[in-house]
Amino acid sequence: MKIKELKAFKIEDSRGNPTIGIIVNNEKSSAPFGKSTGKFETPPYRDSLEWNVRALNYVKFNFEINSVSDLEKVEAHICNKFGLDAPKEFGANGLYALEAAILKALARSQKKELWQVIGPKISHPRIPIPVGNIIGGGMHSHGKNHPTFQEFLIIPKSRSISENCKIMKEMHKKLKKHLKSGRLNDEGAIETSLDEESILSLLSHFSGDIRIGLDIAASSFYRSGSYFYNKKALSREEQIGYVNSLIKRFNLFYIEDPLAEEDFSGFSGIFRDAGHLVVGDDLTATQIPRLKKAIANHSINALIIKPNQNGSILEILAIAELCRKNKIKMAVSHRSGETLDTFISDLAVGIQADLIKAGIETKWREAKLRRLIEIESSFAK
């Protein structure tokens, strides 16, 4: 396949903020934008969104692209054309949206599913289990009275993605009615003024078909060595003890970013066994060196993969391989500022991720889940 058409432009994400859209050979892709960003993420653009749009409308690719590995040619060409030492210097959003659009066009030219192009050696594909953000707090919520933790999560137990989506939607509806709240945050999660333990207690009463998780996003309330809640401040050791007490008290399956984003050794103190996941997001920021450090420190047994934290789909594939070799579970994730692009759904299947965080409500989240249902349905044919 040759790139005959390449057009870049600005679009709005789900929060109304500008981000980049790209068309390659009539196939469109776009990059999301996160509000809760780790300081180790790749910057989204080279100089600005406008710079990346101009650059992509200028550059030409005059070579064949026939497999996902040919993204090496794309990245080398970008480095050469713009005098970069590494392709990620082009900016994570610009590079990711470009490579995603190229792979979509390649899949269409080869009459394959996108996930098959991403993971050409997969013989027995599986659909990841959805992790649904059902009650929100932290930086994703509005107003003064909200929980400190960023996300209260439900993980359905069915093996079918269509059944899991049904379970999440029904529970979202039940909780909205129970909490008497019609307010949804940036990710479509229900807003409430309840505190952390009250929410977990509430979720535990609905836990027949689900397991419970948290995205604590501890870096967002960590300052000068302490973790600041609405009515208390905890030291590092107290934070570890508090999180471990919540895991045991509420049998939490999934704990994301329980400590600040540089505390590799602190993460290793969080309780885990075969039934509990300690998940790195801000800690690892979808970067290979940080994942290697987390593995060396026994910090995590699961990893968030946000493609636009990195930019290079080739590096995402390398991260997935490193996770498989070290028995690290993978969770491909959306961002708070989303678009209708469904690339992460095919990516999750293509790298055989264990989990996917794509939300529950709003059209931007539902698009990802519908794509997974489509993929599951194609397996049944």
Whole-model pTM over 0.85: yes
* 86 pLDDT higher than 90: yes
User: Is the domain 6-118 a CATH 3.30.390.10 member?
Assistant: yes
Burial of 340 (0-12, 13-18, 19+ CB in 10 A): middle
Residue-wise pLDDT for 169-219, tens only, equals 999 999 999 988 778 888 889 999 899 999 999 999 877 789 999 999 999
With a pLDDT cut of 70, the percent of the chain lying above it is 98
Better-predicted residue by pLDDT, 344 or 205: 344
Burial of 381 (0-12, 13-18, 19+ CB in 10 A): exposed
Residue 104 annotated among the catalytic residues of the structure: no
Among 28, 88, 306, 368, which one carries the catalytic annotation?
306
What pLDDT is stored for residue 67 in this prediction?
97
Q: Hey, how many other C-beta atoms are within 10 angstroms of the C-beta on 100? A: 27
Cα–Cα distance list, 297 to 56, 58, 291, 308, 321 (Å): 40, 44, 10, 25, 19
Q: Are 279 and 255 in contact (CB under 8 A)?
A: yes
The full set of domain ranges for the chain reads 6-118, 129-380
Dihedral angle at the C-alpha atoms of 156, 159, 165, 169, nearest 10 degrees? -40
How far apart CA 16 and CA 357 sit, in angstroms, is 21
Residue 197 annotated among the catalytic residues of the structure: no
Mean pLDDT score, 125-137: 94
What pLDDT is stored for residue 36 in this prediction?
63
Rounded to the nearest integer, the mean pLDDT of the chain is 94
Among 187, 191, 196, 338, which one carries the catalytic annotation?
187
Distance between first and last Cα of the chain: 28
Residue-wise pLDDT for 21-37, tens only, equals 999 999 999 999 876 66
* 376 pLDDT higher than 80: yes
- The superfamily (CATH) of domain 129-380 is Enolase-like C-terminal domain (3.20.20.120)
